[in-house]
Amino acid sequence: MAKRRVRALQVSVICGLMALQFPAFSNEENTQQSVSEVQAVAPVTPTESLVKITQSLPTDVKPIFSTQLAKLYADRQMQLLWQDETAISQFQQQLAELSLAGVQPQFGEWLAILENNQLNELGRDVILSDAMLGYLQYLSSIEASGQYWLYTNRPYKIIAPTTAQMKPWIDAVESNNLSSWVKSQAPNHPMYLPMRKEMLKLLAMPEDNLEIVGTKTLKPGQSSDDVVILRQILQREGLLEGGNVTEEVAPPETMAQVAELAVEQTVEPTEPSDAPASTVSKVYDQELVDAVKKFQLQYGLEADGVVGKGTRVWLNMQPKQKAGLMALNIQRLRIIPASSGTGILVNIPGYSLDFYLNDEVILDSKVIVGRADRKTPIMSSALNNVVINPPWSVPTSMARKDIAPKGKQDPSYFSRKGYTVYSGWGADSYEINPYAIDWDNITPANFPYRIRQAPGPTNSLGRYKFNMPSSDAIYLHDTPNHSLFNRNARAISSGCVRVNKASELASILLGDAGWEQKRIDGALKEGSTRYVNIPDRIPVFLYYQTAWVDKDQQPQYRADIYQYDNSIDNADKYLPMLKKILH
């Protein structure tokens, strides 16, 4: 009996030692069971994925891209895609910037859903992914479609991105590089960060609803109730440090008395006062005038210190509206060249041209652009030749709308303006005497003739024309009437761009073609038309930017001459939320 116990003990010890040395032997049965369980777990189907996605969201929340999300999460066995909080924060910042621009209100809707405390972990992940799919469509299409999407108050149509467009995002998730990738999707432009800083500054300003209600022009030295509000607005804008608090003074009777008061009543600047309006000076003094001039320069106005209608409109614009303008123009950076290199940039509402050579501005000029009913298009092209002493073949629309009515009233108009009338546009067309035209049966709608203006000092194109391929027949040119450049608002052409410094531009371009100034002057004097090809085509970009930060870090705003900025109204309902998100 004892021997059997000893033998049993020996067997037990041996088995125990084998189990320690070869655990797989001892767990073979359990291992086989685990393998069976793994084999029993089938892949998640898109249908099952959609059910899980739906269950993770509040009943009133429906993803935009349900089909794509169902497949995306099924392929990943419902694993979360957004586990990097830094990436999430960066993504929400970019969504908020885009939402503030008002280009597509759905981005505001996604952010609003993400603010919902009822979202569970999967639900939050799904909404972030839904928003990313919408963002990927935007990013992938903005270069080709930006000239339409960023210049209208009608939101573009949302469609699902392609698999190829989704790949960079998925690759970033799988390589654990999501934060860096998301950060890289912000506008890649040197203006971006300064403009963003200004946008945040505007959002942080109080909503004081300050408004100058008077409609009369306010001139230096005058007294007005509006001066109190004007002072507060300028302080808010950072253009005036403190108010000059004095006893109220009766309006002076003469400008001489006003000037004396402006000198005599100067006191040390103080912090903005909460005192009743009756204790604050209502005199439009020199300190205020200087601040208004600075304000006018920032808004493209004549810096005369006179508060007229144009200045008053900008003074009354609330900071939140200007924040929206800055946000919209931040998105426009996506289609404006980030590096100028060598090329010509024309800001249409800025009425400005900059010619860059190796990233340095070698020429800047005022320009005249198309009026509201004949807009200068947003476009890119390249200058290919310069025409010296160009003739002008008047476009049909202009011939009918502008010239025919004047010629009908007085046929001598054609000869006085240097116009020749031809029977048509064909090669076999012949010259027509304007007095021989049966004007009684001619209307602007049926005017069949071609009009050509001969080269010369009064030619509408001036002395130079700068050709570039354009489906709209748009080009740069000189003008015989340079006094028009003294105007502040210069949206007065029929679509083409008139250049104030056309002679300087021509000298640069013709110099590259081997023309010395003496030769250019000789050609101008001789008067015949010369076509000179440019050896290296110069890129030209006509863009539309109404808000930016200049090289001196000063905000700049320009009038929306074509009513392209109206999309910012789409962001009003999301503004309180966006203020909380953006930082």
> How many angstroms separate the CA atoms of 517 and 288, rounded?
48
β-partners of residue 404 are: none
Strands 476-477 and 497-499 turn out to be parallel
- In terms of Cα–Cα distance, which of 149, 151, 122 is closest to 134? 149
Sign for the CA dihedral angle at 313, 314, 320, 324 comes to: positive
> How many angstroms separate the CA atoms of 523 and 75, rounded?
71
- In terms of Cα–Cα distance, which of 427, 492, 416 is closest to 453? 416
CA distances for 76 relative to 126, 166, 426, 460, angstroms: 13, 15, 66, 66
> What is the chain's percent helix, strand, coil content, to nearest 5?
45, 15, 40
Q: Is residue 496 among the annotated active site residues?
A: yes
Q: Phi/psi at 464 (nearest 5 deg)?
A: -140, 145
Angle CA 58–64–65, to nearest 5: 115
Q: Phi/psi at 393 (nearest 5 deg)?
A: -90, 110
- In terms of Cα–Cα distance, which of 196, 228, 206, 195 is closest to 318? 206
Which of the residues 15, 189, 482, 496 is marked catalytic?
Answer: 496
Which of the residues 15, 477, 482, 583 is marked catalytic?
Answer: 477
> How many angstroms separate the CA atoms of 26 and 28, rounded?
6
CB-CB contact of 422 with 416 (8 Å): no
Tell me, what amino acid is at 16?
G
CB-CB contact of 171 with 122 (8 Å): no
Q: Is 398 left (phi over 0), alpha (psi -120 to 50) or beta?
A: alpha
- In terms of Cα–Cα distance, which of 247, 231, 250 is closest to 239? 231
- In terms of Cα–Cα distance, which of 570, 506, 581 is closest to 106? 570
Task: Give first-to-last CA distance, the chain, whole Å.
Answer: 85
- In terms of Cα–Cα distance, which of 507, 510, 504, 505 is closest to 536? 510
Q: Is residue 583 among the annotated active site residues?
A: no
Which positions are catalytic?
477, 496
